[in-house]
Amino acid sequence: MCQSFSFFCHMGVAKQIRRATTPSTMEQAPTRPLTVLGIETSCDETAAAVLRLEASGPEILGEVIASQFDDHAAYGGVVPEIAARAHADACDGVVRETLKQAGVSLSEIDGFAATSGPGLIGGVMVGMMTAKALATATGKPFIGVNHLEGHALSPRLSETVSFPYLLLLVSGGHCQFIQVRGLGDYKRLGSTIDDAVGEAFDKTAKVLGLGFPGGPAVERCARTGDPKAIPLPRPLLDRPGLDMSFAGLKTAVLREAQSRELNTQSLADICASFQQAVCDVLVEKSRRAMAILRADIPSGQSPAFVIAGGVGANTALRSSLTALCEDEGFSFHAPPLKWCTDNGAMIAYAGALRLSQGDVSDLALSARPRWPLDEEAAATAPVFGGGKRGAKA
């Protein structure tokens, strides 16, 4: 499909599709059902989904995810070059199988959406080029989707969550609090100033020799451990505000691992203590974020808290945040576990919402390794600073 796109471009067939620039704070129900194919290739999963958006909400007609766990396991983490090659090998087949599962043909697809960033640039390009090729071949729109927007909207795949709501986005590459005010309307409230919490989980698993992927491995090991056994730090918990830090916690785990004999029980204790430290930080920061959001909730609307991203699948964290929501009078929302990690359904949904408002992308749209949801905050108050490839957070 990528070769097909190159051919069409050189033949001058590629259409320049206008992209709307004004975000909408309230999504509008589609005037007719829209069927969108979404492709996700930002990290180590090649995923696709066909979604039908009706006035009553989204319906997933088919979805396929091809994992790269075996490709990266020997390295203890994702290797970008290996990931990009694996996406190139798998993407066409994943799309073909998704269409077959959905029982639709290409002619029945109204638009083709793909993650356009942030993420590992090689993988992002594979998904984008596939979607662009399909859009060109069928004469249908292409929609470039912010991967983080997909996560931000993912709980709405399975239930109704009214805007605005408070989002805790926790994944391998991102950890931030965002006020989700509507489609394309996001306000960053706080962020990690160094490592994302998912990265800390992965590095902890690597230090302890627990294997890949790290998050599930640490959670499994923690089940038989004592969360009070190891005195680990809670970075930035003693400071006001919502910014977070997990680099020091990761280093503390390394020191504990080096200072003791590692056996089944000590590994479990370290994992349980690490997981508890993460929960303590995120719960307290979430409590502070809830206080900020309350001021912006319309009269009569119940405040909602959403957790999304791969770390949102952690049961200990979900349990802690559910209890916090009960204490603070917030409703708790999270996507089903299959939509916590990277998936095509969330990309198809974000793409369908944008398509319903006529917000589509030019085929010249470039992949973005960095693409903050709140671009104004990233420009005026960057957490990590800028760079040649744009804002990092």
pLDDT higher than threshold 70 for residue 24: no
Is the same domain home to 146 and 166?
A: no
- Domain of 28, CATH number, reads 3.30.420.40
Is the same domain home to 206 and 313?
A: yes
Residue 354 lies in a domain: yes
Model pLDDT for residues 247-283, shown as the tens digit of each residue: 999 999 999 999 999 999 999 999 999 999 999 999 9
Give the neighbor-by-neighbor strand order of the sheet with 175-182.
Answer: 185-191, 175-182, 165-170, 304-308, 331-333
pLDDT higher than threshold 60 for residue 220: yes
At 28 the pLDDT is: 66
* Beta-strand pair 175-182/304-308: unpaired
Is the same domain home to 139 and 21?
A: yes
Is the same domain home to 191 and 151?
A: no
Is the same domain home to 246 and 298?
A: yes
User: Which band of pLDDT confidence, cut at 50, 70 and 90, is reported for residue 75?
Assistant: confident
Q: What angle do CA 94, 99, 101 make, to 5 degrees?
A: 90
At 298 the pLDDT is: 83
Number of domains in the chain: 2
Q: Give the start-end residues of each E strand in the chain.
A: 34-40, 45-54, 57-67, 111-117, 142-146, 165-170, 175-182, 185-191, 304-308, 331-333
Lowest mean pLDDT, pick from 19-28, 54-63, 202-211, 219-228 = 19-28
Is the same domain home to 137 and 176?
A: no
pLDDT higher than threshold 50 for residue 390: no
φ, ψ dihedrals at 167, nearest 5°? -110, 130
Type of residue numbered 61? L
Is the same domain home to 298 and 170?
A: yes
Over the Cα atoms of the chain, what is R_g? 21
pLDDT higher than threshold 80 for residue 23: no
Residue 129 lies in a domain: yes
Residue 9 lies in a domain: yes
Given a contact cutoff of 8 angstroms between Cβ atoms, the answer to whether 24 and 354 are in contact is no
What range does the domain containing 210 cover?
Answer: 161-334
**Of all residues in the chain, what percent carry a pLDDT higher than 90?**
78
pLDDT higher than threshold 50 for residue 2: no
Tokens of 102: 């959905």
Is the same domain home to 233 and 348?
A: no
At 295 the pLDDT is: 85
At 226 the pLDDT is: 98
Is the same domain home to 7 and 57?
A: yes
Residue 389 lies in a domain: no
Given a contact cutoff of 8 angstroms between Cβ atoms, the answer to whether 113 and 38 are in contact is yes
Q: Is 111 left (phi over 0), alpha (psi -120 to 50) or beta?
A: beta
Residue 386 lies in a domain: no
Expressed in angstroms, the distance from the first to the final Cα of the chain is 32
Is the same domain home to 173 and 316?
A: yes
Q: What angle do CA 352, 357, 358 make, to 5 degrees?
A: 95
Stretch 116-132: mean pLDDT? 97
Is the same domain home to 182 and 327?
A: yes
Instruction: Check whether the bond before 118 is cis (ω within 30° of 0).
Output: yes
At 15 the pLDDT is: 35
